[in-house]
Structure 1
Amino acid sequence: RVYKKFAERIGVKEAEILHVGDDLERDYKGALNAGFKALLIDRNGKNIGEVNAITSLFELAALLEG
């Protein structure tokens, strides 16, 4: 619910938003359920391979730079 309100407020479609967070249930699954793209910061590497995840924000910077 919060995710959809955020998308409406900024005037961007849900599918165009990438949500990055470190909580599998609230951040990752919550964003996916709202139609967002999601990326989990998994510093311990427990979920790597199971979900779209990185282990540090340095990896995020590299992904965004392309």
Structure 2
Amino acid sequence: MQSETNEMFSEVRTSREQKENELEKIKEENEKKFKEKLSVLQKTKTKTKGSTSELNKIKKAYQLKSK
């Protein structure tokens, strides 16, 4: 019984670690995409001298997501 419990615990722990790793990869990919989009917006802003409201909205949304 103890052996079965240890085996199940090990499987659960392994599964959790895999899911945490997958989540971390997704977070890293999302952060990279965000930074790329932010960079494009910043370049566009400097070229067009447009409003910063859209840029500020994206920054705020990202800050809320990362908390």
The bucket for the TM-score relative to the shorter chain is: under 0.3
Q: TM-score under structure 1 normalisation?
A: 0.24
TM-score normalised by length of structure 2: 0.24
User: Which structure carries more strand by proportion?
Assistant: 1
Say which one has the larger Rg.
2
Which structure shows the bigger proportion of residues in helix conformation? 2
